[in-house]
């Protein structure tokens, strides 16, 4: 891949990859590192990918693998599956709430969702990925994706409700519109 083609690949995917990384890593510095590492791997190994149409999926899969690898290394894994479903149907108030609050708060709420549910949820929201594409990117079965989307959305609604509650403290993240400069 020549330099210009690589730039086009970066321009097409680095922003959504950063958002995905930010939701996983939960801080801007680590998110930036993950995105850089992903493109670095592409530059050193990804040339072998014959179908450029699969580049997007490859990049998200690689970023997710790098995130998991780093997390294992840091021995910070938590119990991922043993969480209450928190099933609750969306109300009209839930929809209004999202419209009221800023992007930084929505991202902060997303970051409180358990990682198992957060990864597919982020791909669903940020990249408009289908359940099949998410299953491919995260290398999990389709049924698992559907289950995690359903439970993740319920957790996110609860997190957004808490974020707006009086006295709640949601830290803005750098790079998000609406974030306050410190």
Partner 1 sequence: MTSDEAKFILSAFRPDGSDAGNPAFADALKMAGADPMLGLWFDRSRAHDSAVARKLREVAPPAGLREAIIAGARVSGARKGDGMGRVWLAGLAAAAALAIVIVSMKAPARPEPAGAAFAGFAINDMVTGKHGGAGEPAGALVAELQAEGSRMPGADRINFERLRDTGCRTLSFSGRTVIEVCFVRDGALFHLYVSRRTGADGAAEPEGPSFFSQAAGSAAAWSDRSFDYVLASTAGTEAIRRLL
Q: Name the site residues for partner 1 (rule: CB under 8 A).
A: 3, 6-7, 10-11, 14-15, 18-19, 22, 28-29, 32-33, 35-37, 39-40, 42-44, 47, 69-70, 73, 89-92, 94-95, 98-99, 101-104, 106-107, 110, 122, 124-126, 128, 130-131, 145-147, 149-150, 153, 156-157, 173-178
Nearest approach in angstroms of CB 93 to partner 1 is: 10
Task: Write out the H or E segment, with its range, that includes residue 94.
Answer: helix 92-100
Which of residues 15 and 80 has its CB atom nearest to partner 1 in the complex?
Answer: 15
| Cα gap 50→123, rounded to integer Å | 24
CA nearest to 115, candidates 76, 163, 170, 86:
76
Which of residues 42 and 64 has its CB atom nearest to partner 1 in the complex?
Answer: 42
Nearest approach in angstroms of CB 11 to partner 1 is: 7
Which of residues 6 and 61 has its CB atom nearest to partner 1 in the complex?
Answer: 6
Report CA torsion sign: 42, 46, 47, 51: negative
Which of residues 61 and 147 has its CB atom nearest to partner 1 in the complex?
Answer: 147
Report CA torsion sign: 70, 26, 117, 138: negative
The separation between CA 6 and the C-alpha centre of its own chain, rounded to angstroms, equals: 23
């Amino acid at each position: 891949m020549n330099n210009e083609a690589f730039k086009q690949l970066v321009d097409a995917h680095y922003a959504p990859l950063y958002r995905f990384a930010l939701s996983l890593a939960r801080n801007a510095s680590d998110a930036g590192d993950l995105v850089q590492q992903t493109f670095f791997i592409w530059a050193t190994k990804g040339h072998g990918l014959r179908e450029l149409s699969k580049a997007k999926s490859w990049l998200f899969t690689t970023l997710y693998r790098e995130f998991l690898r780093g997390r294992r290394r840091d021995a910070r894994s938590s119990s991922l599956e043993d969480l209450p479903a928190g099933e609750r149907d969306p109300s009209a108030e839930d929809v209004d709430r999202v419209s009221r609050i800023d992007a930084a708060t929505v991202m902060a709420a997303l970051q409180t969702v358990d990682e198992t549910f957060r990864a597919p949820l982020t791909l669903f929201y940020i990249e408009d990925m289908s359940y099949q594409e998410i299953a491919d990117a995260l290398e999990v079965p389709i049924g698992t994706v559907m289950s995690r989307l359903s439970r993740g959305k319920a957790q996110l609604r609860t997190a957004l409700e808490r974020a707006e509650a009086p006295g709640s403290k949601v830290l803005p993240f750098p790079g998000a519109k609406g974030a306050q400069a410190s």
